[in-house]
Amino acid sequence: MRPLSPYSVLISSSLICWMAGMLAGCGGQQADVDSAPLLAFGRSAVEAKPPLTAEESLAEQFELYIDSVAWTTEYGEVRSGQSLSHILTPFGVSNSTLHHIATEHRDLFDVRRMRQGKAWWLFRTAQDSIARQFVYGIDDREYVVFELTGEKSARRGRYPSETRRSYVQGEVMGSLYQSLEDAGHTTTLAYAMSSVYAWTIDFSRIQPGDQFRIVYERDWVNEKPAGLPRIVASEFMHRGRNFPAFAFDQGEGMDYFDETGASLRKAFLKAPVSFSRISSRFNKRRFHPVLKKVKAHLGTDYAAPRGTEIVAVGDGVVTKASYTKGNGKYVKIRHNGTYTTQYLHMSRRNVKEGQAVRQGDVIGYVGSTGLATGPHVCFRFWKHGQQVDHLKEDFPPSTPIKEESEGPFQAACRVLLAEMAQYDSDDGPRLAALDQ
């Protein structure tokens, strides 16, 4: 005989108790609510409600808690050229209500910013089909609810989210982007890695055979990934050297440190463009491809598709945003009394002379203006007024782990190392060991 499910047992027990109560007074005049068996989520048997309908579940998700109301729901996606009035007018929403939403709630959400392909829901009461609430999905995480009757209030909300932790290890076989995709992980993880190591590894120079291990987190909303992944701990074995990275917040926001507590963040990024390749290095006796003669090349060329963002490698002030026949469109930035950088052959500049910029700000876009055979940025670096090869410079890191944070940092690293060890196979590099 097939055993009864817990739910069947619960119902059977309740019926037996009720019948016994009718015959012999089981539980007195009324069953004690506090002693009732518990179902999932702590709801007692006497509180158990039937499953929600699809409309009720959707209303609950958007926190439309109105008891004893039956809903009908309309769903759609914003089409090209469609406005709020195009969506709501066919459902009987008045022009005065539309005007109220557009003007009174503009600071909360400007409906003119509704975008093609974004989802919307309209909730109507089943009894009279009157449109009561309109919900617009702003992005993967947020939505806005407009009340269409009564006080016509509005509010923003966030979808329930879940943080999931993942691990990947592998070897670079071409590009990090492709290697992560081949391993079944999001390609945006490559961009997260490039952000973590932007000061220590030039990703245009990674090569087949480089190895990586990554523990990362990502938020999931409605069973879909939302936002970019966040690196928790990682290592990158590059040219025979291991680069560990641990995420830690010592009161100044999340940052990344190596196993000694030194910050991975340095005064300058390793390159002004991401995922490019070096097409020409610093060389005092290079044969110029356009001029057809030997001429010193006092910079590093990064080849990248036209329109690729060029970023400032450090904080500073723009001293030049100009054009010359040789440089094409270019930008020059003074970082301090010691260092200056220059970015040549842009298709378009994004800054003006005298403008202050921060590390990572987009200052222009890759092009081939001036003496250039193809799209690239020629990156030049001055130290004490002399042009130097920035790839051979050793820049000091920024704020390391503070003395009062050393204990918590070491403890956090040990936890992360233990987590990595659970995944580690017998081959491949391992995260740097900490002092015990």
* CA-wise closest residue to 203 among 177, 227, 185, 184: 177
| pLDDT at residue 414 greater than cutoff 80 | yes
Question: Above 90 in pLDDT, residue 241?
Answer: no
Tokens standing for 269? 């990024």
Please give the Cα distance from 306 to 316 (Å, whole number).
25
Domain 277-392 superfamily per CATH: Glucose Permease (Domain IIA) (2.70.70.10)
Paired with 301 in beta bridges are: 280, 378
Could you give the angle at the alpha carbon of 288 between the alpha carbons of 287 and 291, nearest 5°?
A: 125
Q: What is the helix (H) or strand (E) element at residue 86, kind and residue range?
A: helix 84-88
- Position 370 scores a pLDDT of 93
Which pair of structure tokens corresponds to residue 370? 């001036």
Residue predicted with more confidence, 380 or 57: 380
Give the model confidence (pLDDT) of 253-293 as tens digits: 899 999 999 888 888 888 999 877 888 887 766 565 656 66
Categorize the per-residue pLDDT at 180 as very low, low, confident or very high, splitting at 50, 70 and 90.
confident
CA angle 341, 377, 314 (to 5 degrees): 30
Query: Fold match between 54-158 and 277-392?
Result: no
pLDDT at residue 67, rounded to an integer: 58
Q: Which CATH number fits domain 54-158: 1.10.357.10, 3.60.15.10, 3.10.450.350, 3.40.50.1100?
A: 3.10.450.350
Q: What pLDDT, in 10s, does the model give residues 26-46?
A: 444 444 434 444 333 333 444
Q: Both tokens of residue 396?
A: 């000091």
- Written as six digits, the tokens of 123 are 């909730």
- What is the rounded distance in angstroms from the CA atom of residue 19 to the CA atom of residue 11? 12
Is the CATH number of domain 162-266+400-436 3.10.450.350?
yes
In angstroms, the CA 84 to CA 97 distance is 11
**CB within 8 Å of 141: residues ≥ 6 apart:** 158, 159, 161, 219, 221, 226, 227
pLDDT score of 372 more than 70: yes
E strands in 204-338: 211-221, 224-238, 241-249, 254-257, 277-280, 283-287, 294-297, 300-303, 309-311, 316-324, 328-334
Which of 92, 110, 90 lies closest to 101 in space, CA to CA? 110
Q: Closest Cα partner for 374 from 270, 280, 272, 273?
A: 280
DSSP 341: E
- Give 358 or 425, the one with higher predicted confidence: 358
Average pLDDT (166-189) is: 85
Least confident of 43-57, 68-82, 360-374, 400-414: 43-57
Task: Return mean pLDDT, the chain.
Answer: 82
**Measured between alpha carbons, how far is 307 from 348 in angstroms, rounded to an integer?**
8
Sorted by where each begins, the domain ranges of the chain are 54-158, 162-266+400-436, 277-392
| pLDDT band of 295, cuts 50, 70, 90 | low
Helix (H, G, I), strand (E, B) or coil at 246: strand
SS3 label, residue 74: strand
pLDDT higher than 50, residue 119: yes
- Residue 370 is classified by DSSP as S
Q: Which residue has the higher pLDDT, 274 or 411?
A: 411
**CA–CA dist 124, 73 (Å, integer):** 6
